[in-house]
Amino acid sequence: MPRFSRQIKIGGFDHAGGHVKAVNLGGGLPVVVQTMWKDRLSFSDLESKIPLTDGEAAKAIVARIQNLAEMGCGLLRFAVPDLEAAEVLGTLASMVSMPLVADIHFDYKIALRCLDFPIAKIRINPGNIGSQDKVEAVLSKAAACSRPIRIGVNAGSLPSDIRSRVDEGSLDSAEALVLAAEREIALFEKSDFNNFLVSIKASSVADTIRGNRLLAERSDVPLHIGVSEAGPLVAGVVQNTAALTVLLGEGIGDTIRVSLSDTMENEVIAAREILGAVREAAGKARDGVRLISCPRCGRSSFDTHGFTERWLNRVYTMDKNVTLAVMGCAVNGPGEARHADLGITGVGDKALIFRHGEVVRTIDASEADAAFEEELQRL
């Protein structure tokens, strides 16, 4: 049975520059995928403050955000360490329809400034944002403009009194995360602010699972789940998969981010694959594209690695429920991937394109990309 947390809406409002898409999460709705921008934003990155839309760097950022949206990313978070970054993010938020999220620590004035812009959500760690009156100032302004807030609690930034109890052994790490979250939930609810979600994150798979289980039992608040500081691509995907498949399989989690020391695109792909695997494990059909490929061996005469790398981001923008296969040779080509709606392999200097195990085209290997694109358009 899914956990029915209360539902919140992120975005879904008009502004002078256009419209911010609405993203609803919680209440048993499909889990929302999100990622975080990897670089610092400054006006030098966007080339000019006025007119911003004329800058080539700005256009490239907007195009990348659009591509992330097409890949299945529903929310995009940015670190906002100072007021200049708030101005830049505010300007950027007026240029895109995807809901953008401001991630803020230490200075509540940055959060207040972000709320002047069409920034769809604020993430704060109330434990380091300042005194209670500063938190209340942020809540008051967020309520006035109907913007949700994420309470973000991390194992590395627990309140000092809770950290002391962990260090002395009187409180375990998972309980400490939940206690810190409950303290902030109480503060929000005391201020009659209910438009929020919570994340409790640790680099430990065990603490991530147990902490979220405990909070899910004690509260109906929507949960953002993920493993923090999970590592590079392979290690990070393994850590996140180990934690998130357990939680999602128990109906815990309303939005996920797979944190990786890698690209945003790979974070989105990994999240989508985890969600797809959980659906399959529950006996449900998975949505969207599934890309399968062989690992390559000494028999291989087709560069599966290179071809897959070139096409990976592209195929995940397809709004189709299809299986695509990139195979290395005739042994595990059309036969082993006969369930694929479309596949490609190679023999010598030729490439073979197949549908459901039947070869439909044989072309020179140099024409493989162009021919694959043509066949994709026919799906």
**CATH number reported for the structural domain that contains residue 353 in this entry:** 3.30.413.10
| Residues 258 and 240 reside in one and the same domain | yes
| Residues 248 and 335 reside in one and the same domain | no
Is 1 domain-assigned?
no
Pairwise CA distance, residues 80 & 279, whole Å: 35
Is 22 domain-assigned?
yes
> What sections of 172-322 are H helices per DSSP?
173-190, 205-218, 233-249, 264-281, 304-315
The bridge status of strand 8-10 relative to strand 23-25 is antiparallel
| Residues 256 and 339 reside in one and the same domain | no
Name the domain boundary from 226, 254, 281. 281
Number of domains in the chain: 2
Pairwise CA distance, residues 225 & 370, whole Å: 40
pLDDT number for residue 374? 95
Domain of residue 274, CATH code = 3.20.20.20
| Residues 275 and 303 reside in one and the same domain | no
Question: Do 309 and 327 form a contact (C-beta atoms < 8 A)?
Answer: no
Name the domain boundary from 246, 263, 281. 281
Is 335 domain-assigned?
yes
| Residues 220 and 301 reside in one and the same domain | no
Pairwise CA distance, residues 269 & 230, whole Å: 16
Q: Which two tokens stand for residue 145?
A: 């403009």
| Residues 112 and 253 reside in one and the same domain | yes
| Residues 277 and 303 reside in one and the same domain | no
pLDDT number for residue 80? 95
pLDDT number for residue 285? 87
Name the domain boundary from 262, 281, 300. 281
Is 98 domain-assigned?
yes
Is 53 domain-assigned?
yes
| Residues 211 and 229 reside in one and the same domain | yes
pLDDT number for residue 332? 62
| Residues 197 and 310 reside in one and the same domain | no
Is 180 domain-assigned?
yes
| Residues 314 and 340 reside in one and the same domain | yes
Spell out the per-residue pLDDT of the chain, length 379, in tens: 667 899 999 999 999 878 999 999 999 999 999 999 998 887 666 655 544 445 777 888 999 999 999 999 999 999 999 999 999 999 899 999 999 999 998 899 999 999 999 999 999 886 777 778 888 999 999 999 999 999 999 888 788 899 999 999 999 999 999 999 999 999 999 999 999 999 999 999 999 999 999 999 999 999 999 999 888 999 999 999 999 999 999 999 999 999 999 999 999 999 999 999 999 999 998 888 999 888 877 777 788 899 999 999 999 999 999 999 998 876 666 677 788 999 999 888 889 999 998 999 999 989 999 999 999 999 8
- The model's pTM is 0.92
pLDDT number for residue 278? 96
Is 2 domain-assigned?
no
| Residues 203 and 77 reside in one and the same domain | yes
Is 3 domain-assigned?
no
pLDDT number for residue 74? 98
Q: Which domain holds residue 149?
A: 8-281
